[in-house]
Structure 1
């Protein structure tokens, strides 16, 4: 019965809201679904834009979820070393049917030890981080490894959500949600991945992300050392 299915999506400061709102829209389209936006406290968190997000449930009050989803964003750098967050994820993962992430959310799952020895996807700029935690990176838009389902960067959250519904319920239900959302992407430019983007665009983005990537690598190494 879908009426009993519970979905928990982590929200946190400096989250990339589309990482979360993509799968949120998919999960919320499932009849009878119970969806929770979870953070340490029920107080607004600032995303990486002007949008603030209000959690619906605190860690201490969150029920056991069937699906746990960790979105990405610059805030995941700090979450890799946040014991309160990592402990919450480990506790939820013990009873969840599917443990999922979007974008750099997979780095947080990895820091919690929930992807060790598995294959996972993440944002293209963060693929070098996963091996630090003993995770094999995948460039798939949605990567499935057992009950771990991880998505690539940002817009892959919709694909992730639909894939989860297909596994959790059935393909017809996922297709109906896709049609309701009119999810039929036809981007105006063919620059949505490092393999397709013009070289000058890729170099521009790599330059802009260089300092952030170096900082993330340092935090990841510290988190991996603590995990070991």
Structure 2
């Protein structure tokens, strides 16, 4: 069984969680042995737009997941400075795919996963990411180094999840999932 975890927290960006959730569950519809969970530190977290979202588990579930997806949002600004929060993660980029949307890169950097590599993030988080010693690539929406990827701009989640799906499965599964959400005429029809 393969497992993907999507990390949520109070003041997460709605589209980051829900777009990744939708795309990854399109994989689950193809592979019943693929599990997707939204995890956090509480039983429920509230989005920037005010949606209360029930969690499927705690963040420690990330430690044995095949894919760990960090969302973004104003909530990252406190979390990346919180040693107690960061210590709950025991991630291994040699064994796991680890990725972030926008300011989620701050959490990856604070855990040391961006040391010595380049990354991207949303423009409002660039200076904070640089302050953590990361060389920021501002003109690319997706930056990949081995099993670590960072993305900038909410719709970049399509490419970020596509990268992860291709690494976990293959190019065909990635194309099927991504084409199923493209505007009509830009992808192929997929019926789920």
TM-score category of the 2 structures, normalised to the smaller one? 0.7 to 0.9
Per the TM alignment, residue 183 of structure 1 is displaced from its structure 2 partner at its CA by 5.2
Q: What does 1:46-61 align with in structure 2 at a 5 Å threshold?
A: 46-60=46-60
Structure 2: which 5+ residue stretches go unaligned?
187-192
- 111 and 60 in structure 1: CA distance in 2 versus 1, 3 angstrom threshold: closer
**Would you say the 8 A contact 1:67–1:96 is kept in 2?**
no
Q: Distance in 2 between matches of 1:19 and 1:119?
A: 21
Q: Aligned partners of 2:126 and 2:71: how far apart in 1? A: 16
Write the mapping of 1:1-228 to structure 2, written as runs, cut at 5 A: 4-30=1-27, 31-32=31-32, 33-41=34-42, 43-60=43-60, 64-89=64-89, 91-93=90-92, 96-138=95-137, 139-182=139-182
Cα offset for 1:24? Answer: 1.7
Q: Secondary structure at the match of 1:99?
A: strand
Q: 2:25, 2:97 → 1: CA distance?
A: 16
The 2-side partners of 1:185 and 1:154 are apart by 22
TM-score by length of 1: 0.73
Equivalent position SS for 2:177:
helix
The separation in 2 between residues aligned to 1:166 and 1:60, in whole angstroms, is 25
Paired residues of 1:66 and 1:95 also in contact (CA < 8 A):
no
Give the structure with the higher percent helix.
1
* Cα contact 2:62–2:68 (8 A) shared by 1: no
Taking a change above 3 Å as real, the CA distance of residues 184 and 51 of structure 1, as seen in their structure-2 partners, is farther
Structure 1 or 2, whichever has the larger Rg, is: 1
Determine the C-alpha separation between the residues in 2 that align with 1:46 and 1:140: 29
Root-mean-square deviation (CA, aligned residues, Å) is 2.1
* Per-residue deviation, 1:61: 5.5
Structure 1 residues 167 and 118: alpha-carbon distance in aligned structure 2, compared to 1, 3 A threshold: same
Partner of 2:105: helix, strand, or coil?
Answer: helix
Listed one character per residue, the Cα deviations across residues 108-142 of structure 1 (whole Å, up to 9, x for unaligned) are 11111111111111112222222222211123111
Structure 1 runs, 4 residues or longer, greater than 6 Å off: none
Residue by residue over 1:158-183, the C-alpha shift from the partner in whole angstroms, topping out at 9 and shown as x without a partner, is 22111211222111111101122235
Give the Å deviation of 1:85: 2.4
Report which of the two has the higher share of strand. 2
